[in-house]
Structure formats: structure tokens, C-alpha cells
Structure 1
């Protein structure tokens, strides 16, 4: 369904009063099969949201390519861009700012239908009412305004708007992080159910590992603009390969007070995307870093048995022989 090849996104910035280049996404390779839910996880500022926004042309790719259903969509004309909008949609992090406060719910959900279809009048109202019912809201919400809804109800409205055109791909950018914990559970359960009912493919962006584990069957772990590990969800949770993935999982709080920590907390600071390291981007924080190896040259991605992909020299056959 979706593949990115060496996708790179740069932004103009300033460093020390001089013009500089900030690399937000650095040669990212992702692949999502139809019907899958791929979780893109990492710390804040790792480039997760930029990947999602670039796939949907809300940001411009600097280099690399985006393949959607075997078609290169990296650069599209206005006609093809409109077709993409029908087939791929985004649910944003904050439902409060995603809805126009001056528009009724009817108008907000109807907007993509007005732009892309010929539905009008009673037929349009009926379609919007059906969409609200799909997301668990009654038709009485049609003529309410966003300030009259709770956070969870607003996010359901955003989801209704996103699925209005029967898309094949949904990019979900932290769709529950702005909601109360109890409401998060309802929205996640709902997202799982409509994925099956509507045969949707998800790119689910989050920093919450528990959320990713619940919703997604595959995970891609991102650090400083790069994918450092990618594979099946349970395999990564049960046997993480990359030192950064291990550190992320070990940082998850334990449910019982007084329990010993799973591992040591990460030390050191994340390098600046304005001044990227020569070797592995994680080498200054990694306990297993090998001097003269990890800090010298860019690290390729190694494919392990079972299809797991890891960007770490510890899985280079030559390095394994030298350190054995």
C-alpha cells in the first residue's frame, strides 16, 4: 500500500545567526502492506510527524520517493493531488484546534464531501449523519459547535471527517495524546474496530509504546530522523535488537511502586539535527558503542532473520567476527 524510499526532508534554519539546514527526516525507508497498522514511535522531535505530513504532501520532500499503491506520488500535479486526498487522510493530534470553532459539526464533516463529491442538500445531510453514527455520535450533534463537545467527541468528529471519502490510508498523528486516559481507551478501541470494518491501512504515529502495541501489528522506531529498527510488534517488544529500542522499552514505568527499574536510564543529550554526527546518531548515548566504528561512518540497515530491520553495526557480520 505505501512505501517510502530514502525519504529526506530538510528545513531552512539559522545557527549562530547564519543560514543552516535542519534535517528532520533522514533517508527513511518504510513499507506498509494493505490492511496493516504500522506504528511509528520515538521521542518528541524525532521526525515522526514530519514523515506523516510529507507522505500526505503537507510538507515537501527534499529527496527520496513516496510510493502509494505502486504509484510514485512524491510530486503530483493538482489533479493527482486531489485524487490522493480522496485515498489518504490524516487525523491530527489536537482535535480542539483541528475543528473550525465557527463551523457546525455538519459543516466540518461535510467539507470534504462538498469539495470532492456532488452530494448536496438532504443527501449530504444524510451522509454526514451516517458518518456520525459510524463514529458513535447521534445525529443531534449535526448542528452543534465544537465548544459544545467533549475532547473525545471532537476527535470522533475529526475521524468522521477523515473517513468521509472512504480513504484507503489513514495517517493518525498522536490521535489520543490530547485526551483523558479513559477517553483514550474508547478512541483506540473504536479505531481498531473501524480499521476492520472499513478495510483501512494505518500509519499510527505516537510516543506511547502501550498505545502502539495495542493498535499496531508492526513497529518502526525512529531516532533523530532515522528508522533504527522495524519489525513485527510482539517480536520487537519481546526481543528488541537496537540499543535505542531497548532503552525506550526499559523507560516504560512499571505498574507496581517499588519495583526495580528494567534498566539504566539513557544518558547524554540528543545531537542537534543542525549538526548531525558522522557515524551512528545514537553512539554518544549508547553503552555498546564501539570507538572507531560507530562514530566514523554512516550505519546501514541490516536485515535479520524473519525480516527484522536494524540500523546498528552490532549486526554487521564483520563487526560480529571482530568482537567475538
Structure 2
């Protein structure tokens, strides 16, 4: 369904009075099969949201290729952009700012139908009412304004609007992080059920590993604009191969009081994308970094089978390769 190859996204900025390029996404490749849900995880500033927005042409790409269902969509005409909106939609993190406060729920949900279909009048109202009922809202919400709704109800409206044109791909950018915990569970359960009913394809962006484990059958871990590990969700969670993935999993709160962590929590801050470290970008925070190697040479991508890959010298070593062989690969 989705094929992203060597995607790079840079933003021109000024650094100390001089022009510079901030590389938010750096040579990222990922694939997403029809009906799959791929979780994109990582710390804030790792480039997760930029990937989602670039796929839907909300950000321009610097280089690379994006294909949707085999059709190249990296550069599109105005007509191509219009067609893309029918096939792929985005659900944003904050439902409060995603809805126009001066528009009724009817107008907000009807907008894509007005732009892309010939529905008008009573037929349009009927269709919007059906969409609201699909997301668990009664037709009485049609003439309400966003300030009259709770956070969970607003997000349901945003989902109804995204579903109006029956898209094939949904990009969900932390769709529950701004909601109460009890409401989060309801929204996630609903998103999972409609994915199964309509065979939707999800790119699910989140920093919550528990949510990703529940929602996604595959996961990709991002650090400083690069994907450092990806594979089947359960395999990555049970046997993480990259030190950064292990650190993220260790940071998840433990369910029982008195339990001690196996490793120390990840320290330091993510480096600036304006001045990324040489070699492995994670070596400045990694307690297993190999001096003279990780700080100088980009790590190779190691395939552990079943689509599970990680970019780390330790992964090569874990495959039974000797230290001498690692030095040869470098």
C-alpha cells in the first residue's frame, strides 16, 4: 500500500546568523502492506510527525520517493493532490485545534464531501449523520459547535471527517495523547475495530509503546531522523536489537511496586539535527558504544529474519560475527 524509499526532509533555517539545513528526516525507507498498522515510535524531535505529514504532502520532501498502492506520489499536479486526499487522510494530535470553532459539526464533517462529491442538501446531512453514528455520536451533534463537545467527542468528529471519503490509508499522529486515559481506551478500541471492518491501513505515530503494541502489527523506531530498528511488533518488543529500542522499552513504567529496572534510564538529550553526531547518531548516549567505531562509521543494517532489521554494530556481533569481522565491515 505504501512504499517510502530514501526519504529526506530538510527545512532551511538560520543558525547563528547563517543559512543552514535542518534535516528532520534523513534517508528513511519503509513499507506498509494493505491492512497493516505500522507504529512509528521515538522521542519528541525524532522526525515521526514529519514523515506522516510529508507522505500526505503537508510538508515538501527534499529527496526520495513515495508510492501509494504502486503509484508514485512524490510530486503531484493539482489534480493529483486532489485525488490523494480521497485515498489518504490524517488524524491530528490535538482535536481542539483541528476543528474550526466557527463551524458546526455538520459543516466540518461535510466539507470533504462538498469538495469531492455531489452530495448536497438533505442527502449531505443524512450522510454526515451516518458518519457521526459510525463513530458513536448521535445526530443531535450535527448543529453543535466544537466548544460544546468534550475532547473525546471532538476526536470522534475528526475521525468521522477523515473517514468521509473512504480513504485507504490513515496517518494517525498521536491521536489520543491529548485525551484523558479512559477516553483514550475508547478511541483506540474504536480505531482498531474500524480498521478490521474496513481493511484500513494505518501509519500510527506515537511515543506510547503500550498503545503501539496494542494497535500495530509492525513497528519502526526512529532516532534523530533515521529508522534504527523495525520489524514485527511482538518480535521487536520481546527481543529488541538496538540499544535505543531497549532503552525506550526500559523507560516504560513497571506495573508492580518494588520492581527494579534491569538497566539505568536513558540519559542526555537527543542531539540537534543541525549538528548530528558522526557515525551512529546514538553513540553519544549509548553505554555500549564501541570507541573508534560507533563514533566514526555509520552502522550496517543487520537482518534478523522475518523483516526484523536494526542498524547497530552490536547487532552484527549478536549474529555471531567476531569483533574482527565488525572492524572489517566498518
Normalised to the residue count of structure 2, the TM-score between the two structures is 0.96
- How far apart are 1:258 and its partner, in Å? 2.3
Aligned to 1:24: 24
Equivalent residue, structure 1, for 2:296: 296
Give the deviation of 1:76 after TM superposition: 0.4
- Distance, in Å, in 1 between the alignment partners of 2:114 and 2:55 is 24
Displacement of 1:291? 1.3
For 1:274, the equivalent position in structure 2 comes to 274
Deviation at 1:268, TM superposition (A): 3.0
Identify the residue that residue 199 of structure 1 maps to in structure 2.
199
State how far apart, in whole Å, the 1-side matches of 2:320 and 2:116 are.
55
Distance 1:319 1:234 in 2: 23
Worse-superposed segment, 312-321 or 283-292: 312-321
Residue of structure 2 in register with 1:322 after alignment: 323
The range that moved more, 87-96 or 293-302, is 293-302
Distance 2:321 2:13 in 1: 40
Q: Which runs of 5+ in 2 are unaligned?
A: 326-330
SS, match of residue 19 in structure 1:
strand
C-alpha displacement of 1:323: 5.9
Deviation at 1:257, TM superposition (A): 2.4
Query: Equivalent residue of 2:288, what SS?
Result: coil
Equivalent residue number for residue 125 of structure 1? 125
Q: Distance in 1 between matches of 2:268 and 2:160?
A: 43
Contact 2:106 2:142 in 1 (8 A): yes
Structure 2 distance, partners of 1:146, 1:315, is 50
Q: TM-score, normalised by structure 1?
A: 0.97
Asked whether the 8 Å contact 1:251–1:262 carries over to 2, the reply is: no
Aligned to 2:143: 143
For 1:246 and 1:259, the matched residues in 2 are separated by 17
Q: CA deviation at 1:219?
A: 0.2
1:35-184 alignment to 2 at 5 Å?
35-184=35-184
Aligned to 2:6: 6
Inter-partner Cα distance in structure 1 for 2:67 and 2:123: 35
Q: How large is the RMSD of aligned CA atoms in angstroms?
A: 1.4
Q: Give the distance between the partners of 2:314 and 2:67, measured in 1 at CA.
A: 31
- How far apart, in 1, do the equivalents of 2:220 and 2:242 lie? 11
Distance, in Å, in 1 between the alignment partners of 2:31 and 2:201 is: 12
Tell me which residue corresponds to 1:311. 311
Gaps of 5+ in 1: none
Deviations 1:215-239 (A, max 9, x none): 0010000000000000001111111
Mapped to 2, the partners of 1:307 and 1:190 lie a distance apart of 28
Give how far 1:319 is off: 9.2
Q: Structure 1 CA distance, aligned partners of 2:71 and 2:300?
A: 26
Deviation at 1:13, TM superposition (A): 1.2
4+ residue runs of structure 1 moved beyond 4 angstroms? none
Distance 2:87 2:184 in 1: 26
What do the CA deviations read for 1:71-116 (whole angstroms, capped 9, x no partner)?
1110000111111000000000000000000000000000000000
**Contact kept in structure 2, 1:9 and 1:63, CA below 8 Å:** yes
Per the TM alignment, residue 301 of structure 1 is displaced from its structure 2 partner at its CA by 2.1
Residue pair 1:251, 1:263 contacting (<8 A) in 2 also: no
**Aligned partners of 2:49 and 2:173 also within 8 Å:** yes
Q: Distance in 2 between matches of 1:305 and 1:87?
A: 32
- How many equivalent pairs are there? 324
Q: Is the contact made by 1:86 and 1:166 (CA closer than 8 Å) also made in structure 2?
A: yes
- Further displaced range: 253-262 or 29-38: 253-262
8 Å Cα contact 1:247-1:266 kept in structure 2: yes
Shift, 1:276, TM fit: 1.1
User: Is the CA contact 1:314–1:320 (under 8 Å) kept in the aligned structure 2?
Assistant: no
SS of equivalent to 2:252: coil
The separation in 1 between residues aligned to 2:183 and 2:120, in whole angstroms, is: 33
